[in-house]
Structure 1
Amino acid sequence: MHAYVGATVIDATGAPPRPDQSVVVVDRTITIVGPAAQVPIPAGALVHDVAGKYLIPGLTDMHVHSEPETGDPRHFAALYIANGVTAIREMWGRPVLHDVRRQVRSGELLGPRMTIASPLLDGEPALWSDVPDAPVVPIGSSGQARRAVAEAIDTGADFIKVYSRLSPEAYRAVIAEARRRDITVAGHRSDNVPFLEQIESGQRSFEHLFGGIWPAASPDVDRLEAAMARIQTSPEFHLGSWLKQVTQVEWDAIASYDRATANSVFERLVAADVAYTPTLAVHAVIDQPESIRLDDSRMDYLVPGTPESWDFLRERIYCGGGRSAEEAARHRELLDWRRATVGAMNEAGVRLLAGTDSVGPGLFPGFSLHVELEQLVAAGLTPMRALQCATLEPARFLGREHWAGTVEVGRVADLVILDDDPLVDIRNTQRIHSVVVDGRHVGPRERAELLRTAERIASEQPLPQ
């Protein structure tokens, strides 16, 4: 039993902050939230004096790819918890992640609550087909699509992850089979199916801002959607060649962007109760790869060889072998458009989910969610709304709103205690004093030890051959 006394509670419901509160946690549940002067501390409770601090719900990263490169799940689990990330949605359906989740659930491992995707269901050739051991299932027919959905369910997937190159036949078969078997579909838009159709299809969330919205937000939608469908990838680096071609379609689309048409698209997202995970953190590094710093102190938490792999991915995938000065300028402008589009979606009431796409180049497990919050505020969201995108909205999307996502009586005790007010400056979510995950208190000393453990595990890994 724990009692947190004196903090300002920002409960993420949208209510104003409440200063000088006591929050009582029994086992793993919040049992009392109220003014410190009026709340009796239960006998036997461990009292934490948090006067002057700020208490928010635990954070959720709704788009991660946890890479078990070290073979020790404490590595990435520690980085999430130390950064106040108490829940994640895994978008790579690796079998090892199910083992990690079992360890977290049993209490053997201190880590975040995990929601785990199927392998990527993509067309042929799949965008990740030239990457060894990528969890991808290439699909060329409706029969393969139905079998892939069934196999994903049999292996414990929580939802089906669809990817960019699915054919119309395969995409529609995935959606139909998932509906029949009552499992959620999330992921990329298909290049080959008009975005407006996909909104109505039953896909529950769309990830990233590649291509999707802008063709549909143009009066020239038919031509732009046809350009998406004509994309042909190169066998050397499918993903890199795809990014170059998608960028060209995006650039063409913003030239005829129409605000009224865009608002009608957003209204359809709202009406269909479809969520969007913009992952501005990854777009910031794809559109501005020069922002990736290999001397970043957080590199200490990543395995040896990361700088070399990041350099390769940055040059061969993100930049497609290099960018001209004109292409670099276009990307900078596109990033501004991405932020503006997210701001417009928020104003229209689209459900936004905070996600990072870590661990790609320039991204760090746990740490980068705070970057995403900064990007959401830069897009025009208030700090409160940005916080809700990492707390309340993920809980709603995952069907947990009755027991998670806010600081209220009856909710699970996933909490972050901050030294400064995140509503004054969203960067204050990084000023973490302590974390509570599933009722377990992680104080400053244990939090520092988690970071040391992650650094040690990473440093002990051999250099890649």
Structure 2
Amino acid sequence: MQNIKTKDQGREAVRKMVAKGVDYIKIYTNIPKNIALAIMDEAKNFDVPVVGHLTACIRAIDASNLGMKSMEHLNGIFIATSTIEEEFHLNAISLIGKMNTAGVPILAGSDSAFLMPNMIYGVALHYEPQLLVKAGLTPLKALQEATLNPAKYLNQEHELGTVEDWKIADLVIIKDNPLEDIKNRTLTSGVGFDGKLWIEISWINQLRHMILHQKLR
């Protein structure tokens, strides 16, 4: 992270990062508007995407038109689209629903830090799809926000994001169908990772019972 104070410093920082082979340039909320615009303009010259926190002085639509590829965290979008602080907290679900209806791509996931004691890496992602469904997304689309959409965002959908031949995939085994009830997403019984499979003993016994029952019928 660099402390940029002028537009020229912003452009120079972009050039330095590009020379190091970065995949993207990330900006933060407190950066002044004129510097943020200079950074976006310079990054566009090198075809390097700009991502990060939407600054308070730039509207979301303007940042998108300037080539900002992604805007992390809902808070930044609230700041840039409304001056009513109450909406900041009460209408998050409504805003997500409107974004989804408008065709705005959504990616699952958020920060986790000591300032957010209830946000735990991995655990929060189990429950985020429930909030997305509450906002109006279908269960399938809510699951794709954490699988297919990130692969598309990273331009790696040819090898990630779906379970297909010749694609790379770590698997989460779930006891019940999350497409019928998104809460089933939390009923994890096993994980397939790096060619190895870990499954709960109780679930293995249940599967054996189901298979035996089928054979006896």
TM-score bracket for this pair, using the shorter chain length: 0.7 to 0.9
Q: 1:250 is matched by which residue type in structure 2?
A: I
User: Given the alignment, which residue of 165, 173, 177 partners 1:421?
Assistant: 177
Corresponding residue to 1:410 among 166, 184, 189: 166
C-alpha deviations, 1:208-254, integer Å up to 9, x for none?
Answer: 222535764xxxxxxx6xxxxxxxxxxxxxxxxxxxxxxxx233xxx
For 1:372 and 1:155, locate their aligned partners in 2 and report how far apart those are by CA, in whole Å.
Answer: 35
1:441 is aligned, of 179, 184, 196, to 196
Helix, strand or coil at the partner of 2:50: strand
Question: How far off its partner does 1:201 sit?
Answer: 0.3
CA distance in 1, matches of 2:56, 2:144: 30
Distance 1:334 1:170 in 2: 25
The corresponding residue for 2:102 is: 348
CA, structure 1 residues 379+336, in 2 after alignment: closer, same or farther (shift >3 Å)?
A: farther
Deviations 1:4-25 (A, max 9, x none): xxxxxxxxxxxxxxxxxxxxxx
RMSD: 2.4
Mapped pair 1:387 → 2:181: no
Change beyond 3 A, Cα 1:211–1:392: closer
Q: Equivalent residues in 2 for 1:26-425 (5 A)?
A: 119=1, 137-154=2-19, 157-210=22-75, 212=77, 216=81, 249-251=83-85, 330=86, 334-359=88-113, 360-425=116-181
Quickly say closer, same or farther: Cα 1:214–1:175, change in 2 above 3 A: closer
Q: Tell me if the contact between 1:391 and 1:406 (Cα under 8 Å) persists in the aligned partners.
A: yes
Give the superposition deviation at 1:145: 0.8
Whichever structure has more helix as a proportion of its residues is: 2
Contact 2:126/2:185, CA 8 A, preserved across alignment = yes
CA deviation digits over 1:33-74, x for unaligned, max 9? Answer: xxxxxxxxxxxxxxxxxxxxxxxxxxxxxxxxxxxxxxxxxx
3-state SS in 1 of match to 2:75:
coil
Give secondary structure in 2 for the equivalent of 1:396.
helix
State the aligned residue count.
199
Q: Which of 1 and 2 has higher RCO (CA within 8 Å, sep 6+)?
A: 1
Does the Cα contact within 8 Å between 1:215 and 1:250 map onto a contact in 2? no
Q: Residue 166 of structure 1 contacts residue 192 of structure 1 at CA under 8 Å; is this kept in 2?
A: no
Give TM-score, length-normalised by structure 1.
0.40
Higher normalized strand content (fraction of residues): 1
Alignment-mate amino acid for residue 349 of structure 1: G
- The amino acid of 1:184's aligned partner reads P
Gaps in structure 2 of 5+ consecutive residues: 201-217
Mapped to 1, the partners of 2:55 and 2:19 lie a distance apart of: 25
Q: Does the 8 A contact of 2:51 with 2:71 survive in 1? A: yes
Distance 1:334 1:396, change over 3 A: same
Match for 1:208: what amino acid? H
Identity %: 37
Deviation at 1:192, TM superposition (A): 2.3
Q: Please give the alpha-carbon distance, in whole angstroms, between the structure 2 residues aligned to 1:401 and 1:407.
A: 11
